[in-house]
Structure 1
Amino acid sequence: MTLSDVPVDTRVDRLRAALGDRVAFPGDAAYDAGRVPWNVAIDQHPFAVLRPESAEDVVDAVRAATACGLRVAPQSTGHAAGALADTDLSDVVLLSLAGLRGATVDPVGRTARVLGGSQWNDVLAVAAAHGLTAMHGSSGDVSVVGYLLSGGLSFYGRAHGLAVETVRAVQLVTADGSLVRASADEHADLFWALRGGSGAFGVVVSIEIDLLPYADVFAGMLLWDASHADVVARAWAEWTATAPETATTTLRVLHFPPMPELPPFLSGRALVVVDGAILDTDAAASALLAPLRALEPEMDTFARIPSAGLVAVHMDPPDPTPALTAHAVLDSLPGEAVDALVAAAGQPGLFIVELRHLGGAIARPAANGGAVSSLEGEYLLHTIAVVPVPEAFAAAAAAVRAGIAPFEPWRTDALALTFIDGGGEDATAGYGAAAARLRELKRLFDPANVFASARAV
């Protein structure tokens, strides 16, 4: 009899014997609490759930799971749970890393050591005390590890590149249950693979990153009614064509339902918003924004703010949200593409249609980078649809795909790994030329395919 033939009850008994009450199974109260991801549109049903609170707990979990012929899926917040939607979790132990949170800062070396389940708010709070910040994304409650090791697009990106380039070392538990530190000097092949391959190579228990020397930043948003979407989108497209690398911005069209908990300027409205950051003096940043401000936005919050406040500029939802997304990377944004954007923004079923300005340092491969160190293309197109009830899932999936379909003439072969959020999507284009070597290293470090990653290698 092979391990895969071991009866379910026997596996349950073996896991309980090895892990005690740290592991939860269907029917246990902790099971449902641990299996629900941030993206609550995704209904996960793993074999078991475990919430480790130390690196030793992770070692125990991986060893016990593999001894029972089970796989392991690490998950910090579950923002990217959609990418696991088509993965059979019936033989998977889900490791909910929410108990592994915290960060310590070395202000002299301008680095931080971050525990594997931490969110960006955990890092920004301690970094700000030293006049430092990090290459975070547009939401403070996103997993540091998942975001970084999948590339990471930041409002500092056009000046500093992909956030993954700030990673200096990774401590993880590998498929054989070993606790390993990977860096440029230790397990260099594994370190290369992790920077892009992320959770496909192990369970990260801590990560060491470089910080940025910004105590404050010129950032904010410009907001108009969506009736101005055509004019604003054309102006932003022209503006970004010559914008310096110090400026990283997005253009979004948002449709808010009438909800009393929303502020009046959002509730029940359709809006077009330009937001982002400009790494320059107040005077230079204001001069750069002048063509957009000339369009007379009804709200203009661009100003010098504490760098920790940048994470709130994009207004990502603060609470778990049921949603589906799709994206494409564009090599240009001509007038016809702007027409397609405005048309897509009016499509029923879409909550957000967004363009993020890429280029600059984001497109330049790093000299000593890992499997992913750059993203070719000039713009990232992102569509989002809310799934208020399970019955709306199919319509939402169709809406986000339809939102990007008209942009085929301007699409590149690239994909941004952190934006791959649908079950069954092929992540190969996100790895580019690194895909073949990544697959070889996956076979070397995880020959039994122990780790069920949100983005399979």
Structure 2
Amino acid sequence: MPDSTPLPTADALRGLAGGAVHLPGDPLYDEARMPWNLQVDEHPAAVAYPADPQEVARVVRAAAASGLRVAPQGTGHGAPPLAGRLSDAVLLRTSAMTGLVVDGAGRTARAEAGVLWGDVVARAGRVGLAGMHMSSPGVGVIGSSLGGGVSWYSRQHGLQCSAITAVELVLADGTFVRATDDQDADLLWAARGGTGGFGVVTALEFDLLPVRTAYAGMLAWDWQHAGRVLTAWADWTTGAPEAVTSVARIFQVPDDPDLPTDIRGRGMVMIDAVALGDAEAGARAIAALRALGPEIDTFALVPAADLAHLQLDPQEPTAVYANSVLVDGFPADAVEALVAVAGPGSGSQLLFVELRQLGGALRRPAPRGGALDHLPAEFLVLGVGLDVGTGWSAVRADAMRILDSLAPWSSRASYLSMAYEAAARRGFAAAAYDRLLRIRQSVDPDGVFVTPRATPND
């Protein structure tokens, strides 16, 4: 017999959030529901744009009373794990909450839920400070921090989530909490890398770094040199100082007029790096890479704020598939396996394959602790693709070939922020995962909030 249970209704939300609530069929609904990652075409029961914590609380209470769940979302860069899970949920978009305070003397920032990393970088840079931002200035501070946050500063200073000193959030019953190490400490612990799902985070407070400049840039070769360059780079990373963080990429550069003419439309192998300290020390640190004879060399001493634009990541909404694997080492055999499936002649249609250098402070548990306090690997290998007409299944297959090729060297863990399909449990140590589930259950026993990715309790 067909299920005759009535579907939850979102009609009770009309008029909340100053009228910024959009239901299916409303003129602005389709625009409101679209995340930054346009691969996801979700149709939630409603979309709400609250302007402050009070409006958040009203939406959460009304949704729960109507039998609906709530899914907080900032930019929607990490939307794919929510696909297929929002038909009975209110998509609560936090982009209207844009308050940002930078305390130069205290070296701290307080960012509301709609603040982007580009905002923090610019404001902090004016007072000689830097935030541990992501590779694109258009990524939201809250979502990336809750997921961990790997930055150009991570090998010396760890994950961005470990810099969090306070979290403000609205719980499932509509109450507002400011959690610190001294009060509601479990919630602060969960905010440090726990990915969310325990409330609507309306603001974070976190430490900034006293960094004004860095020696940074890109080295690039035609991708025919991928095997030689990546083998030398992997060897170089074993002795690189923690003040240096690098990323190597096999990049099939789009023929886009907004990109530099000397790389546009070409297959390239690139190394981006940031060395904290003066130019002389930075030049010494990358000397072995320069000795490989790059076609392009852009290294210079630059303002710290410029680092947010180093990797040429797209900033406009884009349909993207991404998946990754953590690996414990990158010997010559691993380089050969990777180039075979992603380099010249491979037939791969991925936009790029990225190898992020980890280790250093990222490998050590952070003193403050948190759901995610370190990454147990030396490299993160990320495959990113666009749908170029062959469909997402072909893009996914190319990405999975990357992961499969590196299976002999892979870690059992995953970095969830860059692994769309990984199970939630793989992102945490066993004890941390169990504690995270207990915290979510204690503050949201009725499952009002949609977890960032499916868990056994969903």
TM-score (norm: length of structure 2): 0.95
Q: Secondary structure at the match of 2:391?
A: helix
Is 2:69 the partner of 1:62?
no
Taking a change above 3 Å as real, the CA distance of residues 17 and 244 of structure 1, as seen in their structure-2 partners, is closer
Residue 379 of structure 2 corresponds to which residue in structure 1?
379
Q: Match for residue 191 of structure 2?
A: 194
Q: CA deviation at 1:261?
A: 4.0
8 Å Cα contact 2:121/2:308 also seen in 1: no
Task: Say which SS state the counterpart of residue 199 (structure 1) adopts.
Answer: coil
1:17 Cα deviation after fit:
5.9
What displacement does 1:19 show? 5.6
Counterpart CA distance in 2 for 1:272 and 1:162 is: 27
**Percent of pairs with identical residues:** 45
Does the aligned pair in 1 maintain the 2:16–2:55 contact within 8 Å?
no
Contact 1:39–1:80 (Cα < 8 Å) also in 2: yes
**In 2: Cα distance, 1:25 partner to 1:388 partner:** 32
3-state DSSP of counterpart to 1:41: coil
Deviations 1:48-107 (A, max 9, x none): 00111111111111111001010001110010011212x421100001111112311111
How far apart, in 2, do the equivalents of 1:20 and 1:300 lie?
51
Match status 1:360 vs 2:360: yes
2:20–2:49: 8 Å Cα contact kept in structure 1? yes
* Residue equivalent to 2:139: 142
Q: Which residue, out of 33, 43, 48, partners 2:46?
A: 48
Q: What's the CA shift string for 1:15-42, capped at 9, x where partnerless?
A: 2265672211112122112111111111
- Residue aligning to 2:433: 435
Q: 1: CA distance between counterparts of 2:93 and 2:66?
A: 19
Match of residue 413 from structure 1: 412
* Aligned ranges 1:108-127 → 2 under 5 Å: 108-127=105-124
Find the residue that maps to 2:413 and give its secondary structure. coil
Q: Aligned-pair distance for 1:366? A: 1.4
Structure 2: how far apart are the matches of 1:297 and 1:350? Answer: 23
Q: Is the 8 A contact 2:148 2:195 kept in 1?
A: no
1:349 matched to which residue of 2? 349
Whichever residue aligns with residue 16 of structure 1, its letter is R
3-state secondary structure, aligned to 2:75: coil
Query: Residue 229 of structure 1 corresponds to which residue in structure 2?
Result: 226
Residues matched between the structures, number: 448
Aligned-pair RMSD on alpha carbons? 1.6
Q: Which residue of 2 aligns with 1:216?
A: 213
Q: For structure 1, which runs of at least 5 residues remain unmatched after alignment?
A: none
SS state at 1:224 partner: strand
Partner of 2:248: 251
Letter in 2 for 1:416: Y
Between the aligned partners of 1:363 and 1:324, the Cα distance in structure 2 is 27
Deviation at 1:6, TM superposition (A): 4.7
* Distance in 2 of aligned mates of 1:266 and 1:103: 37
Between 1 and 2, higher relative CO (CA 8 Å, sep ≥ 6) is seen in 1
Q: Output the CA distance in 2 between the equivalents of 1:211 and 1:27.
A: 44
> Is 2:169–2:202's contact at 8 Å kept on the other side of the alignment?
yes
Q: Distance in 1 between matches of 2:206 and 2:187?
A: 17
Cα-to-partner distance string for 1:363-405 (whole Å, 9 max, x where unaligned): 110122111110011000100111245x611111111111211
Match of 2:277 in 1: 280
- Preserved contact between residue 102 and residue 123 of structure 1 (Cα < 8 Å): no
- Asked if the contact 1:168/1:183 (under 8 Å) is kept, the reply is yes
- Provide the residue aligned with 2:442 in structure 1: 444
Structure 1's 444 and 309: CA in aligned 2 closer, same or farther, altered over 3 A?
same
CA distance in structure 1 between the partners assigned to 2:97 and 2:17 by the alignment = 17
Cα distance in 2, alignment partners of residues 351 and 442 from structure 1: 37
Alignment of 1:104-183 (within 5 A): 104-183=101-180
Q: Which residue in the other structure is 1:81 paired with?
A: 79
CA shift, 1:115, in A, is: 0.6
Question: Which has the higher mean CA deviation after the structures are superposed, 28-37 or 303-312?
Answer: 28-37
| Residue of structure 1 equivalent to 2:203 | 206
Q: Which moved more, 1:168-177 or 1:394-403?
A: 394-403
| Partners of 2:454 and 2:278 in 1: CA distance | 43
Distance of 1:149 and 1:257 partners within structure 2: 31
Give 3-state SS (helix, strand or coil) of 1:271's partner: strand
- For the Cα contact (< 8 Å) 1:74–1:453, is it kept in 2? no
- Aligned CA distance change for structure 1 residues 237 and 15 (closer, same or farther; 3 Å): same
**Secondary structure at 2:110 match in 1:** strand
Q: Deviations over 1:209-246 (max 9, x none)?
A: 10000111111111111111111101101100111111
Structure 2 Cα separation of the partners of residues 160 and 172 of structure 1: 26
